[in-house]
C-alpha cells in the first residue's frame, strides 16, 4: 500500500479547505494499492466533513496533546481528535520539534496517547543541513527513532516519514540515491532494533509533481508527505497519479 499524506499546516480555513477537498475528491480515488490522507487544521476538518455529501475522505491531525485530558489550556487530546473522525496523527514533524521545542519524551507520550485511541501515527524524523553536510544524517535519524520508539509499541499502527529539515519548503531535495539509501537504513534499523520486517517509510520535503515520479519509483520509498504542494488541488492530484 502506497500512501500520500497532505500536511496543510496552518493553512486553509473552512471554505478554502472544502474547495480543495472537493476538487481532489473529483479527480482522484483511493484504491487497494494507494490512498491519500488529508491533515487540515482541525476546525477545517470538522467543517469539511460536515459539508461533504459523501464522507469518503480519510483525515488525520497534525498533532495531539501529550496528555489524556484535563487542565491543559489550548491542547486537543487524541480522544477528541478521534471523535472528530481522524484516523491518523502526525507526530514529530520538525516544525513541532524546533518551533515548539518538542522533546523525545514529549513525542513518546504523544505516540502513546494516539495509540491508546487506536489512531495511526505518522512519526517524522530528519536531519538538519549541518548534520547532512557533516555526513551524520543516518546516525542522527537512528537516534531519533530509537530514543522514541520502544518494543511496547504496536508497530502495525506506525508509519515513518523521513523529512530532511533542509528540504522542507526549500525546493531542494537530497539526491535520489541518498533518499533511497536513508529509507533503506531506516528499514534496516527497524528490523535490527525492533524485529519489524515491514513498515512504510514515506519521503517528505519539497515533493512536487516534477520530482514525485522519480522519488516514488525508489525501491525503499512507500509514499510521500506533502506540504506546500498539497495546498493546490491540481498539483496534489498530479503527485498522486505518480504514486
Ligand atoms: P514541503 O513540506 O512539501 O512544503 O517541503 C513537507 C512537510 O513539511 O511535511
- What is the reported pLDDT for 54? 87
Predicted confidence band of residue 140 (pLDDT cuts 50, 70, 90) = very high
User: β-strand 88-91 against 120-125: which pairing, if any?
Assistant: parallel
Picking from 230, 234, 162, 171, the residue whose alpha carbon sits closest to that of residue 200 is 162
Catalytic residue, chosen from 93, 102, 127, 183, is: 93
Mean local confidence (pLDDT), 208-221: 98
pLDDT reported for residue 222: 98
47 as an active site residue: the answer is: no
Q: Average per-residue pLDDT in the chain?
A: 97
- Going by C-alpha positions, the residue among 41, 86, 83, 21 that lies closest to residue 60 is 86
Q: How many whole angstroms from 7 Cα to the centroid of ligand 1?
A: 7
7 lines ligand 1 (CB under 6 A): yes
**pLDDT by residue (tens digit) across 157-188?**
999 999 999 999 999 999 999 999 999 999 99
**If pLDDT is split at 50, 70 and 90, which confidence band does 30 have?**
very high
Amino acid at each position: 500500500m502506497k500512501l500520500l499524506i497532505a500536511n496543510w499546516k496552518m493553512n486553509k480555513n473552512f471554505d478554502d479547505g472544502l474547495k480543495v477537498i472537493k476538487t481532489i475528491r473529483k479527480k482522484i480515488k483511493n484504491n487497494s494499492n494507494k490512498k491519500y490522507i488529508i491533515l487540515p487544521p482541525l476546525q477545517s476538518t470538522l467543517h469539511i466533513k460536515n459539508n461533504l455529501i459523501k464522507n469518503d475522505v480519510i483525515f488525520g491531525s497534525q498533532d495531539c496533546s501529550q496528555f489524556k485530558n484535563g487542565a491543559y489550556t489550548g491542547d486537543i487530546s487524541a480522544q477528541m481528535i478521534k471523535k472528530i473522525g481522524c484516523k491518523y496523527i502526525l507526530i514529530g514533524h520538525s516544525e513541532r520539534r524546533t518551533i515548539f521545542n518538542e522533546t523525545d519524551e514529549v513525542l513518546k507520550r504523544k505516540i502513546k496517547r494516539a495509540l491508546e485511541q487506536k489512531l495511526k501515527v505518522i512519526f517524522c524524523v530528519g536531519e538538519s543541513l549541518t548534520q547532512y553536510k557533516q555526513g551524520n544524517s543516518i546516525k542522527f535519524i537512528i537516534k531519533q527513532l530509537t530514543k522514541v520508539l520502544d518494543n511496547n509499541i504496536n508497530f502495525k499502527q506506525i508509519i515513518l516519514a523521513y523529512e530532511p529539515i533542509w528540504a522542507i519548503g526549500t525546493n531542494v531535495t537530497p539526491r535520489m540515491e541518498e533518499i533511497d539509501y536513508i529509507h533503506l537504513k531506516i528499514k534496516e534499523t527497524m528490523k535490527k532494533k525492533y524485529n519489524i520486517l515491514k513498515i512504510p517509510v514515506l519521503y517528505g520535503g519539497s515533493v512536487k509533481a516534477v520530482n514525485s515520479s522519480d522519488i516514488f519509483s525508489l525501491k525503499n520509498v512507500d509514499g510521500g508527505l506533502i506540504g506546500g504542494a498539497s495546498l493546490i488541488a491540481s498539483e496534489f492530484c498530479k503527485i498522486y497519479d505518480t504514486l
